[in-house]
Amino acid sequence: MSQTPLLDRALVEEATKKSGLLWVRGTGPARALWHVWLDGAAHLIGDGPGEQPFPGLADGGTAEVTVRSKDKGGRLVTWSAAVRELAPGTEEWEAAVAELKGKRLNAPDAERMTERWARECRLLRLTPQGAPGTLPDGSLAAVPLATPATTRQPVPAALPRLLLKRGRRAGK
């Protein structure tokens, strides 16, 4: 038996575990999505109010997952995934949500987050299929997707002086 499939699987698992974001492409453009790795698959929560959207990912479909390096941000590996939606309340759903809850940053309702996820969101399991693909030679750069998010306004001109003045006062 060849060791290549085992090494491929180990590469996918280790790279995906360590990366905070995955680039996932279903039927639409690729999106950066946060996830957790659990029981041999990546788990994503979203498609609800205030959560990450993942259009183009459907139960029973497939997706292309690109994993980036946590250190340098470059592509490490690309793999094909079978997409399966987990039903709320199942043992598998509860285990995945327990892991995801610890990784969710800035949740507006941390105490009731899991109930909201069960009511309003989808939990997807992306299971690797076959061997990882080869990385493309090009950059794959694309125009950013439209979003309602906005950037911060420029820092007020007086702010640096105020901060410096406060620092001098504390040093006396």
Give the whole-angstrom CA distance, residue 128 versus residue 6.
12
pTM reported for the whole predicted model? 0.77
Q: Is the Cβ–Cβ distance between 52 and 117 less than 8 Å?
A: no
The pLDDT tens digits along the chain (172 residues) read 345 778 888 889 898 998 888 999 998 888 999 999 999 999 999 988 888 998 899 999 999 999 988 788 788 889 999 999 999 999 999 999 999 998 888 777 878 889 999 999 999 999 999 878 777 777 777 787 787 777 777 878 888 888 877 656 555 5
DSSP at 101? H
Closest CA to 91 of 39, 42, 53: 39
Superfamily of domain 4-171: Electron Transport, Fmn-binding Protein; Chain A (2.30.110.10)
Tokens of 86: 């987990």
CA separation, residue 51 to residues 89, 110, 120 (Å):
19, 13, 10
Q: What residue segments make up the domains of the chain, in order of their start?
A: 4-171
